[in-house]
Structure 1
Amino acid sequence: VWDKSENGDWHCTASWKTHSGSVWRVTWAHPEFGQVLASCSFDRTAAVWEEIVGESNDKLRGQSHWVKRTTLVDSRTSVTDVKFAPKHMGLMLATCSADGVVRIYEAPDVMNLSQWSLQHEISCKLSCSCISWNPSSSRAHSPMIAVGSDDNSPNILAKVQIYEYNENTRKYAKAEALMTVTDPVHDIAFAPNLGRSFHILAVATKDVRIFTLKPLRKELTSSGGLTKFEIHIVAQFDNHNSQVWRVSWNITGTVLASSGDDGCVRLWKANYMDNWKCTGILKGNGSPVNGSSQQGIFNASLGSANTSLQNSLNGSSASR
């Protein structure tokens, strides 16, 4: 875990060995729940961690350390992603695993992070690699979670599925599948929704893809109460010329950052015509790439781009 000092430098304030296999992901809970992290691993578990500031004696006073509050052991295969739900839903956590099951847990008492109850199990029928909650807090939108699969089987066409909570059945059910995404998916991210009537979803696969999901009118939706969507792909970029591993939005959902095997982070933004373009490229050390002449790429003033990148990546890495 890294803290940023007032002069802009990053310092490692905590590191610890945990899990008995590779740690695939870490994610922050919303700060209103305290300093809380979740991790997931090849060892088939997910764990919830809380930062404690030592007060017991003079030696520990003011020092912080991380305490494991719970271990979630329901999966029988590698847990490949873990994400906290939007804060308006309370303290909830979703995991997905290689056996194709998404599990949603809830902490009924936010003051006691050792107690988590399994609320939902969603069987996706294909190996899951990543999940993303729809962050919309509008009452018009039911809780929604997108699931990506890295299954290499050509028999399984849609590698992105979207599940919506049904108030009638009190269960999650599949609302949509993105039939055009047939390559293995490494990451997926709903954009923050600031008053939009539709949703934006970014997908990291062999390239970067951005979709819009516009809810159809109620009379056009399915009889089961699930929302149906008009789905369009609004951008597709292969500028990384390699596998894309992560996609992450800034806090307003206007800039998308993507990282790939080319060792670069690329920033994408739409203009007023809703045409998406690359507005900046950063190397792994944060320095801009000069003289970029790829399609649609131009060097933006990277002052604002760096800020956007920092905002977009802070939410998905163990930094604060």
Structure 2
Amino acid sequence: MFVARSIAADHKDLIHDVSYDFHGRRMATCSSDQSVKVWDKSDNGEWNCTASWKTHSGSVWRVTWAHPEFGQVLASCSFDRTAAVWEEIVGESNDKQRGHSHWIKRTTLVDSRTSVTDVKFAPKHMGLMLTTCSADGVMRIYEAPDVMNLSQWSLQQEISCKLSCSCISWSPSRLGPPMVREVYESHVLLIIIIIFIRKYAKAEHLMTVTDPVHDIAFAPNLGRSFHVLAIATKDVRIFKLIPMRREVTAGSSGPTKLQVQIVAQFDNHNSQVWRVSWNISSTLLASSGDDGCVRLWKANYMDNWKCTAILRGDGSPVAGSSSQAAVPSTAGGPQHVLLQASSAGRKKAQLMPG
């Protein structure tokens, strides 16, 4: 049975992002009050704030977890033009800190000249890598050469673009070249960037997206030969990205070309859509918008996408929400929701575990 929990986050200003760790038992929130809070889930299902600290000198837009293989590591980004990497340390001395954890700043990335709008860790098989994008239209890719020393990060590459960037996401797939993409807030909004032997080159434009994009998310790839991409803009859109075969000749280089197909589009929110998120098996997509609702989408046995549930901000279902019209698609089937991000403008975090 689905149960929604509401917690008093006690942030002093708008909550901009909620991020769950790999196991879903820890959560981080960030806010315009310049702070980040870490929450741990107890055995009885309650969420308790175990750490809270001021991270930046401006609004904190995003917070994200590294894979636990690298320890308990967070990254945050802010309007103050910086991104920061934080690590949880358990006190081992004989003082009051023994057995108690605390978060320390390992590094501050100061390359951006404008607000850093998003930060994401790469999939763990690529090592400890971090990507940022900023309002100056530059995506920056960093790497920690020594995972035991998180104070040292090297800037691997800067990818300059002509438009302001709003969000980024890595493809989690290990099949074929992994991809990272960024989104712009102006006319040609979405550019896919493909990683090819650690070199970065633009692979494709999604020319059908012409409105500001607020969030993007690759679906986890469990063996497909193509990628599935969800976009939050004035509506919800799902794209299929099919790598095109090309002849390999001596001295040939360049990114793999992609065939782009739009497989579903929903305007059910009747408002701006701010977040999209897949479950771990890529069979269910959650979206949230200015209508104050979270909508869950999945494909049926005929490969037609439809809305299977609508949840209000307090977690209560909307009556008759399972009877939404189907939209043709070629991607995925049923099951669990992975995470629900809080909506900006609320001082309570709505937790909707799958």
- Give the TM-score range, shorter chain: 0.7 to 0.9
- Is the 8 Å Cα contact of residues 76 and 119 (structure 2) preserved in structure 1? yes
Q: CA deviation at 1:287?
A: 2.7
After superposing on structure 2, the runs of 4+ consecutive aligned residues of structure 1 that deviate more than 4 Å are none
The answer to whether structure 1 residue 128 and structure 2 residue 165 are counterparts is yes
Q: 2:298, 2:221 → 1: CA distance?
A: 15
Report Cα offsets for 1:253-277 as digits up to 9, x if no partner: 1111111111111111112322111
Unaligned runs of 5+ in 2: 1-37, 327-333, 342-348
Is 1:219 matched with 2:254? Answer: no
Q: Is the deviation greater in 17-26 or in 282-291? A: 282-291
Query: What is the match of residue 201 of structure 1?
Result: 229
Give 2:103's aligned amino acid. W
Bigger mean CA deviation after superposition, 52-61 or 66-75: 52-61
Matched, 1:6 2:35: no
Q: Distance in 1 between matches of 2:248 and 2:291?
A: 43
Map of 2:302 onto structure 1: 273
1:264-297 alpha-carbon deviations (Å, 9 max, x no partner): 1111111232211111122223232223377338
Which of 277, 280, 295 pairs up with 1:251? 280
**Aligned mate of 2:311, from 269, 275, 282:** 282
Q: Give the number of the structure whose residues are more often strand, by fraction.
A: 2
Match of 1:184 in 2: 212
Residue 49 and residue 202 in structure 1: after superposition, are their counterparts in 2 closer, same or farther (change >3 A)?
A: same
- Alpha carbons 2:66, 2:73 under 8 Å: kept: yes
Question: Is structure 2 residue 131 aligned with structure 1 residue 94?
Answer: yes
Residue of structure 1 equivalent to 2:89? 52
State the alpha-carbon separation in 2 of the partners of residues 288 and 64 from structure 1: 38
Contact 2:307–2:321 (CA<8 Å) still a contact in 1? no
SS in 1 for 2:51: coil
TM-score (ref. length: structure 1) = 0.88
Q: Is the 8 A contact 2:193 2:202 kept in 1?
A: yes
> Which residue type is aligned with residue 276 of structure 1?
W
The more displaced of 83-92 and 262-271 is 262-271
- Is 1:296 paired with 2:296? no
> Which ranges of structure 1 fall in alignment gaps of 5 or more residues?
298-304
TM-score of the superposed pair, with normalisation by structure 2 = 0.80
Distance 1:220 1:291 in 2: 53
SS at match of 2:247: helix
Following superposition, the deviation at residue 248 of structure 1 comes to 1.0
Please give the root-mean-square deviation of Cα atoms over the aligned residues, in Å.
2.2
Change (3 A) 1:61 1:117: same
Aligned-partner Cα distance in 1 for 2:93–2:145: 28
* Structure 2 residue aligned with 1:19: 56
* Equivalent-residue separation in structure 1 for 2:278 and 2:62 (angstroms): 17
- Going from structure 1 to structure 2, the CA distance change for 1:267 and 1:273 (only over 3 Å counts) comes to same
How far residue 15 of structure 1 moved from its aligned partner, in angstroms, is 1.1
Question: What's 1:301 paired with?
Answer: none
Select the residue among 132, 147, 159 that pairs with 1:110: 147
Number of aligned residues: 298
